[in-house]
Amino acid sequence: MRLDKFLAEVGLGSRKEVKQLIKKGQISVNQQIEKSDKKQVEPEKDQIAFQGETLHYQEFYYYLLHKPAGVVSATEDSRDRTVLDLFTPADYRSDLFPVGRLDKDTEGLLLITNDGKLAHELLSPKKHVEKEYFAKVAGVMTVEDQQRFVEGILLDGEKTLPAELLIDETTADSSEVRIILHEGKFHQVKRMVKACGKEVTYLKRIRMGSLELPSELVKGNYRVVTAEEIASLKG
Average pLDDT over residues 191-198: 98
Q: How is the chain split into domains, by residue range?
A: 3-54, 62-125+213-234, 131-208
Q: How many CA atoms lie within 13 A of 103 on its CB side?
A: 15
Active site residue 103: yes
What's the confidence (pLDDT) of residue 137? 98
What's the confidence (pLDDT) of residue 9? 87
Q: Which of the residues 85, 103, 105, 115 is marked catalytic? A: 103
pLDDT above 90: residue 125: no
Determine what percent of the chain is predicted with pLDDT higher than 90.
90
What's the confidence (pLDDT) of residue 223? 98
What's the confidence (pLDDT) of residue 77? 93
CATH 2.60.40.10 fits 62-125+213-234, yes or no: no
**Is there a shared CATH topology between the 3-54 domain and the 131-208 domain?**
no
In this predicted model, what pLDDT tens digit does every residue of 153-170 receive, in sequence order? 999 999 999 999 999 999
In this predicted model, what pLDDT tens digit does every residue of 38-61 receive, in sequence order? 999 999 899 999 999 999 999 999
pLDDT above 90: residue 204: yes
C-alpha dihedral sign at 230, 134, 81, 220: negative
What's the confidence (pLDDT) of residue 63? 98
What's the confidence (pLDDT) of residue 126? 86
* CATH code at 3-54: 3.10.290.10
pTM, two decimal places: 0.85
What's the confidence (pLDDT) of residue 198? 98
* CATH code at 131-208: 3.30.70.1560
pLDDT above 90: residue 7: yes
